[in-house]
């Protein structure tokens, strides 16, 4: 199973503190504002629909979502953001990608570079690792939602390409074009989705032992804590035993 979903599971098991919600809402609002520049109607703007869905999953207030949309459409004054991708390497040569929305490229670049270096990694040049990833829809569901055979049946009927099973979760992958159809199909079937996003999935995952996994987790955590970072992906592949060990740290 791809590393980014397992990191999500680790964090879910460790129960992130509510004090981080403010930062999460800020990132959601920024994503909504950026997406709304292409149109303020989520029915006609899949990127905006995804940003709103993610904000709702974080329990972001409706009026805050609407305000972020109006900033994007120009109805309210707001910051101007640009989307950038940073690529580099972590411990053991693990490939790392970070997607950011920033209003200050120079500041963000310097901070991202410092985060990589402090974690024993290195920031690379554009496209140094991008070729190792493919964009796919990624939907994560807790194992207690349905038996494996039933989950496979529901996902494939909804248009998914594959279902991977781990100790605690299912990861359903699909093409970007089928993402919303698959997600809504699962929800209509009564399945509660833990997380859903368009993610960069590693073509050839790299298995990590506990030592390297711990170092990569620290790097990913530090990147995700940076205000401008929207999402982080890696080609790490960690076993359930290592996931369980990390969750106890």
Res. 114: pLDDT tops 60: yes
- What pLDDT is recorded for position 194? 87
Give pTM, 2 decimals: 0.84
pLDDT of 57: 85
Residue with tokens 């205000």: 227
**How far apart (Å, rounded) are the C-alpha atoms in residues 86 and 228?**
12
190-201 per-position pLDDT tens digit: 999 988 889 999
Domains recognised in the chain with CATH numbers: 3-73 (1.10.10.200), 83-131+205-247 (3.30.70.980), 132-202 (3.30.70.980)
Strands 169-174 and 162-165: antiparallel
CB-based contacts of 93: which residues, under 8 Å, 6+ apart?
206
Contact criterion met (CB below 8 Å) for 235 and 1: no
Provide the pLDDT confidence category of residue 5 given band limits of 50, 70 and 90: low
- Whether 48 and 40 have beta carbons less than 8 Å apart is answered as yes
- The answer to whether residues 138 and 109 touch, using CB atoms and an 8 Å cutoff, is no
Secondary structure of residue 235 in the 3-state scheme: coil
What are 64-91's pLDDT values in tens digits?
Answer: 999 999 999 999 998 889 999 999 999 9
Q: For residue 96, what pLDDT is reported?
A: 95
């Amino acid at each position: 199973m791809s590393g980014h979903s397992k990191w999500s599971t680790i964090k879910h098991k460790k129960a992130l503190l509510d004090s981080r919600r403010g930062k999460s809402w800020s990132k959601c609002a920024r994503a909504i504002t950026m997406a709304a520049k292409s149109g303020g109607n989520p029915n006609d703007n899949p990127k905006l629909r995804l940003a709103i869905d993610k904000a709702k999953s974080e329990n972001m207030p409706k009026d805050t979502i609407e305000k972020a949309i109006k900033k994007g459409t120009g109805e309210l004054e707001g910051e101007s953001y640009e989307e950038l991708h940073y690529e580099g390497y972590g411990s053991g040569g693990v490939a790392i990608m970070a997607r950011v929305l920033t209003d200050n490229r120079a500041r963000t670049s310097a901070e991202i570079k410092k985060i990589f270096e402090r974690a024993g990694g290195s920031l690379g040049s554009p496209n140094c690792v991008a070729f190792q990833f493919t964009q796919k829809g990624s939907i994560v569901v807790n194992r207690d939602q349905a038996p494996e055979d039933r989950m496979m049946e529901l996902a494939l009927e909804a248009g998914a390409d594959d279902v991977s099973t781990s100790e605690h979760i299912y990861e359903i992958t699909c093409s970007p074009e089928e993402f919303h159809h698959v997600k809504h199909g699962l929800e209509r079937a009564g399945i509660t989705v833990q997380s859903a996003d368009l993610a960069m999935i590693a073509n050839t995952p790299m298995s990590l032992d506990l030592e390297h996994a711990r170092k990569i987790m620290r790097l990913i955590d530090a990147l995700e804590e940076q205000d401008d970072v929207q999402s982080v992906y890696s080609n790490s592949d960690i076993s359930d035993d290592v996931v369980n060990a990390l969750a106890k740290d």
